[in-house]
Chains A and B, each alone.
Chain A
Amino acid sequence: MLLIYCPYCEEERNELEFRNGGDAHIARPTNIADITDEEFEEYFFIRQNPKGLIYERWRHVHGCGKFFNAARDTVSDRFYLSYKAGEPKPDPATFLNNGNESALNKDKGASK
């Protein structure tokens, strides 16, 4: 079971309190009625599914109820950091150091 840090409650809580919300930083097109089928597919269905660094949404459903984002390694399941919704995507260079790198990232560089 994962231990997840909620940036609003400012503490680590167990996974049972959270619901995963899929990939973070996916913007819904503002002209959704006008986009092509290809663009809709890209926005709605296609996901990176990275082996390595993933940015994902979590919701603290049995806590503060708020959405936030987190950066995690999908091989070790280790969280690098959590940050509030609306904050910009953190640069991997800022947290992939100080022995924080997973074996995978050392081998192949952070996932594209």
Chain B
Amino acid sequence: MRKYSVFAVVREAMRGHKGWEAQWASPEPRKEYDAIIIGGGGHGLGAAYYLAKEHGITNVAVLEKGWIGGGNTGRNTTIIRSNYLYEESMHIYEHSLKLWENLSQDLNYNVMYSPRGVMMLSHNVHDQQSFKRHINANRLYGIDNEWLTPEQAKAYCPPLDISKTARYPINGAALQRRGGTARHDAVAWGYARAASDRGVHIIQNCEVTAIRRGPDGRVVGVETSKGFIGAKKIGVSAAGHTSVVMQTADVRVPLQSQPLQALVSEPLKPIFPCVVMSNSVHAYISQSDKGEFVIGAGTDQYNSYSQTGGMQIITHTLDAICELFPMFRRVKMMRQWGGIVDVTVDRSPIQGITPVPGLFINAGWGTGGFKATPGSAHLFAHLIAKGEPHKFAAGLTLDRFRTGRLIDEAAAAAVAH
């Protein structure tokens, strides 16, 4: 792999950009691997990268049924934050945030991580009490999060309307300054390139149709659209399709797949300096470096694999945005899309062993998986390599739905889905 640098840019500029090589190899699959990861999103590619980099396991394949960056990694609103309420969540999201801070250097790939601040608006007494509780919990854990008065919030984000006559008056805000955004598909590409460089096979257009188990119950490999591929360890990181894949190994999981939509506007000049979220009226918005407003809508109420969603879900969010920021009323929306998210009942992810020896699960990231990409991938690699969870992911087990140790982040999510 040729390193990306300013010198490479100059060199290629001098010779007509003829020397850029493919970012990752596209090999034919081997008959057998030490480990297979099902799902070539950020989490799966990242896990393969950390398996190779930190655990020395390079005989690894990532199987992706579509193309790299075509799933939920390329279908989210790119928001990064770690201001969760419970310790289990704070462990993993803060671990992730710390990895985000150095990810571009680590991968030699500009993922455009931009710590521009994530501001969560408070509109009423309940919001205020809830956010202050989050802030206190975060600060006890060492995570930055601070309370802003309406005036301080406006100073940080000038487009805010803090007048008393606003439709949704603002009585303060919680701000995580290290929160922000990154370029989502660069994350997938960067991990793919770095993993491929360390010998990982990235196999696109290869759909896993079944997980095969031997007479002793252990996994032996997977049936795919490119034939059988053997592996002693299999990690499933298939987002909305996790239920479908796990069922082929006779593992039933507490997940529901629902469409979650996002949309972007036409590009405008820089006007919006940070990420703003409002739980009470369900709106979140940021401006990408290209100038587009990136807006997230909610999930539909029914299960679906359709990668689309109801128009009423979008208008609900846009109504709120137009009330919060009346100057955006005449902005045209350019693209809209849906991703299929796998949601657990406690709205916390599942990462851990399964009843099947050699089979590991990383799922249930629901509506907030992008921010967790590096942390989740790093811990998932640890799980696959060692066979047991890292202490940061110890609470995210699949059996918590039997033992009752749920992690009830449902009420603590940034916006209610």
The interface of chain A, by Cβ under 8 A from chain B, is: 1-2, 15-16, 19-20, 22, 37-38, 40-42, 44-51, 54, 56, 72, 74-77, 112
Contact = CB atoms under 8 A, between A and B. Distances in A.
A46 B312 contact: no
Contacts of A22: 256
Interface string B243-255: 1100100001111
Contacts of B310: 1-2, 15
Contacts of B303: 49, 54, 56, 74
Nearest to A46: B252
A56 B311 contact: no
A76 B306 contact: yes
Contacts of B301: 19-20
User: Across chains A and B, which 8 residue pairs bring their CB atoms closest together, nearest first?
Assistant: A49-B243, A45-B254, A41-B402, A20-B301, A45-B401, A20-B302, A1-B310, A46-B252
Interface of B: 241, 243-244, 247, 252-257, 301-306, 308, 310-312, 345, 401-404
A54 B310 CA distance: 19
A47 B49 CA distance: 32
Contacts of B401: 41, 44-46
28 contacts: A1-B312, A2-B310, A15-B312, A16-B312, A19-B301, A22-B256, A37-B403, A40-B402, A45-B254, A45-B345, A46-B253, A46-B401, A47-B254, A47-B255, A48-B243, A48-B252, A49-B243, A49-B244, A49-B253, A49-B257, A50-B243, A51-B241, A56-B303, A74-B303, A74-B304, A74-B305, A77-B302, A112-B247
Given A16-B312, A19-B301, A41-B401, A75 B255 contact: no
B317 to A, nearest CB: 15
| Residue among B241, B256, B304 with the highest chain A CB neighbour number at 10 A | B304
Contacts of B243: 47-51
Contact of A37 (B253, B254, B402): B402
Nearest to B304: A74
A102 to B, nearest CB: 11
Nearest to B310: A1
Nearest to B311: A1
A56 B302 contact: yes
Contacts of B244: 49, 51
B252 A74 contact: no
A72 B312 CA distance: 20
A35 to B, nearest CB: 12
Contacts of A37: 402-404
B302 A2 contact: yes
B306 A74 contact: yes
B402 A77 contact: no
Contacts of A72: 302
Contact of B256 (A38, A44, A49): A49
Contacts of B306: 74-77
Given A1-B310, A15-B312, A47 B256 contact: yes
Contacts of B302: 2, 20, 56, 72, 77
A64 to B, nearest CB: 19
B344 to A, nearest CB: 9
A46 B304 contact: no
B132 to A, nearest CB: 32
Contacts of B304: 74-75, 77
A56 B301 CA distance: 12
A112 B243 CA distance: 13
B213 to A, nearest CB: 17
A1 B308 CA distance: 10
A100 B306 CA distance: 17
